[in-house]
Structure 1
């Protein structure tokens, strides 16, 4: 469970940081080509996200160069240290270039079918792990994180690794309450820390 005390503070800090870096943060500003071939100016409104794959019997599926993130359209294979994915019980699935986008999808997607399984990349081992049991450290200091696409939570398969990261992270005061186990508690408030400009207002 996450500690809700301070989530509002972290959300505000995350939104302020996102505003300051929107020009360079790929997952916060979408510069993909529009239907007419022109570059999107990134002024798109927050939206509700849909699956990008059908008829997935089991996952995880292979990440390939032709896939686009279901949230920001960036190519997950360009970010092998951050890529994530999930599959719904009805076989619909979605891939993401980062755990921040995974959070955004979970908080703002429409499929009637529940999520059956999800995976993300362990921040330490760089291996794909079960996101339903992962330990996500909810960092918020964007300057200290120096992430390529805004800011992302830090997923770890093992609690010990998450706690070790907490001990080493000096940019902000985080505690065990800032570690979310699994994805069941991902909501708009939490997801907005990482992808606030791509989410509807609460």
Structure 2
């Protein structure tokens, strides 16, 4: 075999390795979390999410660029329209870049300390409202929106605003049953928005 005959094989090998590396890199960006693959003590593969900050509890704290969402790791300041936060009775808390991440945390929180207070951005007014009193519209059509993290529930401080949104939403058939409170969020609901994170 001559030197010239070996070159195409080496080029093919290099291209194959580059292709395999690209596929592995894309798989790492797919949103699957290694922690989600680990089985818990009870034999399930459900991830629990820890609070990631101290929180005074009485009032919301400012959203800053040095905070990260405990669910997805993104800073909340990147998505100010979607921010949420909560405080536990033990003085810990968490800040979220989106309402979808808030749902994931509520459904999979590791803390045994009850939630003392929570706040979320109203989808219409863009004001911070009491997340425990808010009304969340469960949209599920990913193709109809351009949300951070693919898709997020819509939070409204006023129930009438949530009902109006349901009536005006054309992408899918929604009813009053698609409006829930934070107390109704469980793992099944959170999986709509962050299946790869919990």
Which interval holds the TM-score relative to the shorter structure? 0.7 to 0.9
The answer as to 2:193 corresponding to 1:194 is yes
User: TM-score scaled to structure 2, two decimals?
Assistant: 0.77
Q: Which has the larger radius of gyration?
A: 2
The answer as to 2:109 corresponding to 1:112 is no
Q: Equivalent residue for 1:93?
A: 93
Q: Output one character per residue of 1:113-148: Cα deviation in whole Å (capped at 9) or x when no partner.
A: 100111111000111110000010000000102212
Aligned counterparts of 1:71 and 1:43: Cα–Cα separation in 2:
10
What secondary structure sits across from 2:85 in the alignment? Answer: strand
Q: Equivalent residue for 1:122?
A: 122
Q: Equivalent residue for 1:20?
A: none
Unaligned runs of 5+ in 2: 1-25, 37-46
Q: Equivalent residue for 1:185?
A: 184
Instruction: Give the C-alpha shift of residue 177 in structure 1.
Output: 0.5
Contact 2:120-2:129 within 8 A present in 1 as well? yes
Instruction: Give the C-alpha shift of residue 43 in structure 1.
Output: 4.7
Aligned counterparts of 1:107 and 1:43: Cα–Cα separation in 2:
17
Aligned counterparts of 1:170 and 1:152: Cα–Cα separation in 2:
16
Q: Equivalent residue for 1:64?
A: 64
Instruction: Give the C-alpha shift of residue 56 in structure 1.
Output: 2.2
Mapping of residues 134-173 of structure 1, within 5 Å: 134-173=134-173
Instruction: Give the C-alpha shift of residue 70 in structure 1.
Output: 1.1
Aligned counterparts of 1:43 and 1:100: Cα–Cα separation in 2:
16
Aligned counterparts of 2:55 and 2:191: Cα–Cα separation in 1:
30
| 4+ long deviations beyond 6 Å | none
Instruction: Give the C-alpha shift of residue 149 in structure 1.
Output: 1.5
Which structure exhibits the higher relative contact order, with contacts defined as CA atoms closer than 8 Å and separated by 6 or more residues? 1
Q: Equivalent residue for 1:79?
A: 79
What secondary structure sits across from 1:117 in the alignment? Answer: strand
What secondary structure sits across from 2:184 in the alignment? Answer: coil
Q: How many residues align?
A: 161
User: TM-score scaled to structure 1, two decimals?
Assistant: 0.76
